A and B are shown apart, each in its own frame.
Chain A
Amino acid sequence: MIELRGVSYFVADESTPDGRRAILDDISFRVPTGSTTCIMGVSGTGKTTLLRLMAGLLKPNSGEILIDEQDIAPLNENELNEVRAKTGFVFQYGALFDSLSVGENVAFGLHEKRHPKKEVEEIVAARLSEVGLPGITEKLPSEISGGMRKRVAMARALATSPQLIFYDEPTSGLDPVMAGVIDDLIVRLKIQNNTTNVVVSHHLESILRISDRVLMLHAGKLVANGTPDEIKNSTSPVVQQFLQGNPVGPISVT
């Protein structure tokens, strides 16, 4: 289970009176084990920052981030590495190691955990075919398309069978059929392995298809938290503007 209590994150900004600007302001929510929570919101509202905080890649300025009841905010890198052994992170642009082949990328976490070599090959092949990319282990990341890189990144994050998985826009830039395949995989992992998933996305169809709960961030604040149906029927003007893609409304685009 993941739980956030009053998490705030600031960046330095000379133009404000106290020299800092809140990217995230007093965020609290929980993601129960074996469920999927989607975080939506317009670009630049801190969705990715929130995901990186939960994965321990950034430190909050205040608040607690509990992963299985353990607050990760005060931990140092070595202690965090133990927590990270049970988490996986799918980066928005893949973040594949470009000096390693696709197969070595997917095998990376397994080699670090000293898995037997024979099993590694099988797991790599299985993960790659799950994301619709069998038989490309020899290719380099620079030789495959952006959408393929993203799916390889997903195979890499899933190779070590993590219990908590963070997805940063897993379906953006994929064709609709492939987006459906990825959505199905997220749902299937949740059911089969009881994984806890946090998905940052603004792909509405996929959000409604995969999530148990939906959060909406706007201007660094949590403005909605409910089931997909509650979100669809929300009376909040911010949520409705986002769902309808209306250029006019409380979300200012300028």
Chain B
Amino acid sequence: MARRETLFSPFFAFIGQLASLLWESLGYIFRGAVSYRHTVAQMSEAGVGSLLVAMITVGFSGAVAGLYLGAQLVKYGQQGYAGGFVGKSLALEIAPVITAIVFSARSGSAMAAELGSMQVTEQVDALRSMGVSPTRYLIVPRLLATVIMLPLITVLANAAGVLGGAIAVAGSGISSSVYWESFKSFTTVDDQVQGLLKTIPFAILIVLISCCQGLNTKGGARGVGRATTSAVVFAIIAVYVADYFLSVVLQDALLWRR
């Protein structure tokens, strides 16, 4: 008897597909079946392409945080917290999440579109017909490149955000030496580590969702468009949901360590 289709069965099928892609990719990575040439190509293609956009968006996010926080803190005479607030929010939340969103929009969409058009023009089948696993050839280099690049982009975007905050708080009359002093004393190494640790699961989610959508593409140019859109939408949702649970777990884990 055929299994009954419910409203949720496509969702669970998709989750299952992501899990098996991850398992398969890890298998290739641990066996060392990795094309370094393709990984480096993806690092420059996906990573460098997203860097500038991430620095601009996170830079201005930091500036806006500085603008509002600065005005409020001056009102209550708590200027000494400005740098710490901006720095902590950037390190823990704004930089990793905004960078992941930018990456998904800029590079995840490109992955879905490229794999999607390869799927509809039978190039994915051509790989399989030659005994080459699409997971090994297409997904593993993208996965490795993103897991390496996303934390690096996040660090630079974070720096741009802190700088943006420094410029913005000056508008509220907080001097830059007060800002940097506050930043140094409140934003800890743990905060930076916690933020960066989140980027690795983000990277895995974005790449797997985008590639999976690409490989599932059906029906020509319109299908490629649909795959690209849903890759970005699903990746952004997944990043935010994962962000909450990762924050809960990481916060406890880092507290417990001390």
Contact = CB atoms under 8 A, between A and B. Distances in A.
A53 to B, nearest CB: 12
A108 B126 CA distance: 11
B123 interface: yes
A116 interface: no
A98 B127 CA distance: 13
A91 B131 contact: no
A57 B123 contact: no
B129 interface: yes
B15 interface: no
Given A77-B133, A81-B131, A81-B133, A95 B2 contact: no
Interface string A93-119: 101111000000000110010000000
Interface in B117-140: 118, 121-123, 125-126, 128-133
A84 interface: yes
Contacts of A108: 130, 132
Interface string A122-152: 0000000000000000000000000000000
Contacts of A88: 129
A9 interface: no
A84 B122 contact: no
Contacts of A89: 125-126, 129-130
A20 B2 CA distance: 10
A96 B125 CA distance: 11
Nearest to B122: A95
B2 A55 contact: no
B130 A95 contact: no
A87 interface: yes
B16 to A, nearest CB: 16
Nearest to B133: A77
Interface in B14-29: none
Contact of A95 (B123, B131, B132, B133): B123
B123 A112 contact: no
A84 B128 contact: yes
A91 B130 contact: no
A93 B125 CA distance: 12
Nearest to A18: B2
Contacts of B125: 52, 57, 89, 91, 95
B101 to A, nearest CB: 27
Contacts of A87: 129
A82 B129 CA distance: 11
Which interface class (under 10, 10 to 19, 20 to 34, 35 or more) fits A?
20 to 34
Contacts of B126: 89, 91, 95-97, 153
Interface string A18-47: 111000000000000000000000000000
Nearest to B130: A109
A91 B123 CA distance: 9
Contacts of A181: none
A81 B126 CA distance: 12
Given A93-B121, A93-B122, A55 B130 contact: no
A55 B118 CA distance: 19
Contacts of B122: 91-93, 95
Interface string A54-92: 011100000000000000000001101110110111011
A55 B129 contact: yes
Contacts of B133: 77-78, 81
Contacts of B130: 84, 89, 108-109, 112, 160
Nearest to A57: B125
Nearest to B2: A19
A189 to B, nearest CB: 17
Contacts of A157: 129
B131 A85 contact: yes
Contacts of A20: 2
B90 to A, nearest CB: 37
A81 to B, nearest CB: 4
A112 B132 contact: yes
Interface in B89-138: 118, 121-123, 125-126, 128-133
Interface of B: 2, 118, 121-123, 125-126, 128-133
20 contacts: A18-B2, A52-B125, A55-B129, A56-B128, A57-B128, A57-B129, A80-B128, A81-B133, A82-B131, A89-B125, A93-B121, A93-B122, A95-B122, A95-B123, A96-B123, A96-B126, A98-B123, A108-B132, A112-B132, A157-B129
> Which 7 A/B pairs are nearest by Cβ-Cβ distance?
A89-B129, A95-B122, A84-B131, A95-B126, A81-B131, A109-B130, A91-B122
Given A95-B126, A112-B131, 5 more contacts: A80-B131, A91-B129, A95-B123, A98-B121, A109-B130
